[in-house]
Chains A and B, each alone.
Chain A
Amino acid sequence: MTEVQLIELTVNGERHDLAVEPRRTLVDVLRHDLGLTGTHVGCEHGICGACTVLVDGAPARACLMFAAQAEDADIRTVESLAAPDGTLNDLQRSFSAHHGLQCGFCTPGFLMLAEGYLAERPEASKEEIREVVASNVCRCTGYQTIVEAIDDCAGRRRAAFQAQLDSGRSA
């Protein structure tokens, strides 16, 4: 008989009690047990990055973690980016504006990679973004437009933050 284990996962702010095999990776639990199919599965050995999610805010490969290891952690997937009414967030809009995707298979991974990275390093330069983007594999767009999408979004976020500071000062 297959061994089943009870685990509790917090995904996009929601708690889930699950009975899963210990060998279930985080990405398989997200997709098969929680129905969150926005996170994609590519290579299953940590090379392609299609399964990238945020674990306690940091980008991580969901294929290289067992779900049981993610108990007590705060998991965020691509489903958390858009507003409940489906309005895309600024990073997603930037990918669209810069044509940062074609087939879209790799996109959820790139989005979560960029969200995690920009949260840690909002002042990232274009060269630093290019280096981080090398973490994930895209086989159709090429990386130029992805780099531009992330760089543009980072610039807009910095400008918005600065505007907020300025208005606070003048008030």
Chain B
Amino acid sequence: MKPAAFTYHRARSVAAAVGLLNDLGDDAKIIAGGQSLVAMMNFRLARPEHLIDIGRVPGLDHIRRDGAALRIGALVTHHAVETADLGTDFAVVSDAMRWIGHLPIRTRGTVGGSLAHADATAEWCLLAVLLDAEIVAEGSGGRRTIPAGEFFQGVFTTALEPDELIVEVVFPRPAPRAALTEYAERRGDFATVAAAVDLDAPRVVLGGVATVPLRVPSAEAVLMTDGPRIPAGEAAAAAIDPRDEPGVSAHYRRALTRTLVERACEEAAAR
């Protein structure tokens, strides 16, 4: 289908985008790569009256080490991260990119856009929770940092204020023994279940089993005491409460969860 009519605004700076958000209120949406938003607009699941294009705002396209931390600008594309050499410290991040859609999606879709869209199966959302990321947002009240653990609040819902946009995500600590894996019926599709594991933190995060990326403390406790692999997968499967859905029974989703957590543990241990 074709999207509903809207007014297009091009922001030349973060301050200009914030100003527009302030002026236009709830009827405005930010567009960066648009790889989720344009599809939703074509379906008319989203009908914003105003689009604020931040695609060419300068200063938001860096991938930079800052001491132990890794800082990624909001406009960095998935493909740029996929092809960047992040070293063993953050290989989990670049390796996770291949799970995002397909190449022509990854060349346009952005880190900030994915986090702001907050799909509970999105790889960036899982990575953010897995690695205790800090999401840097700017609004009319200035800049603030939101911990990933508080950022995702529900179905496509984040802690961003209506006049805020994401400018950067910061991964504060290296994760040399971490991995993300997932299963989808078709390659490149949204994950039925996604699992991410950091053996050192330790952290176990699941996508596709709740309305937000879900940390599983019971599985993390297993990693702390028993070491990786099978018991962690069993603990994760036992901790979730999936519902029967057409084509995906609760039993199946639980089985996928167990297998994927085990697989992520093995991949993380093999790094």
Contacts and interface: CB of A to CB of B under 8 A. Distances in A.
Q: Do A and B bind each other?
A: yes
Interface stretch (B97-105, B122-130, B218-226, B262-270): B97-105
A63 B108 CA distance: 12
B34 A64 contact: yes
B108 A64 contact: yes
Interface string A34-71: 00000000001110010010010011110111101100
A107 interface: no
A31 interface: no
A72 interface: yes
Given A61-B108, A69-B34, A69-B53, A134 B7 contact: no
Residues of B in contact with A, size category: 20 to 34
A37 B33 CA distance: 24
B102 A134 contact: yes
Interface stretch (A17-25, A84-92, A95-103, A144-152): A17-25
Interface in B28-43: 31, 34-35, 38-39, 41-43
Contacts of B38: 25, 46, 63-66
A22 B7 contact: yes
Contacts of A167: none
A128 B108 CA distance: 20
Given A59-B103, A64-B108, A23 B187 contact: no
Contacts of B41: 23
B78 to A, nearest CB: 12
Contacts of A117: 103
A165 interface: no
A22 B8 contact: yes
B103 A22 contact: no
B45 to A, nearest CB: 10
- Please indicate which of the listed interface residues A25, A60, A64, A132 has the most CB atoms of chain B within 10 Å of its own CB: A64
B5 A23 contact: yes
Contacts of B42: 25, 44-45, 63
A117 B56 CA distance: 24
A49 to B, nearest CB: 7
Chain A facing B: main interface SS: mixed
Contacts of B39: 45-46, 64
Given A52-B104, A60-B107, A69 B7 contact: no
Contacts of B79: 58
Contacts of B6: 22-23
Contacts of A69: 31, 34, 53, 55
Contact of B108 (A22, A25, A55, A68): A55
Interface of B: 1-8, 10, 31, 34-35, 38-39, 41-43, 51, 53, 55-56, 79, 101-105, 107-108, 187-188
13 contacts: A5-B8, A23-B4, A44-B1, A46-B39, A49-B102, A59-B103, A64-B39, A69-B31, A116-B104, A116-B107, A117-B103, A131-B187, A134-B187
Q: Which 4 A-B pairs have the closest CB atoms?
A: A135-B102, A22-B8, A58-B107, A45-B39
Interface of A: 2-3, 5, 21-23, 25, 28, 44-46, 49, 52, 55, 58-61, 63-66, 68-69, 72, 113, 116-117, 131-132, 134-136
Given A5-B8, A66-B8, A132-B103, 9 more contacts: A22-B8, A44-B42, A49-B104, A64-B39, A64-B105, A68-B53, A134-B187, A135-B102, A136-B102
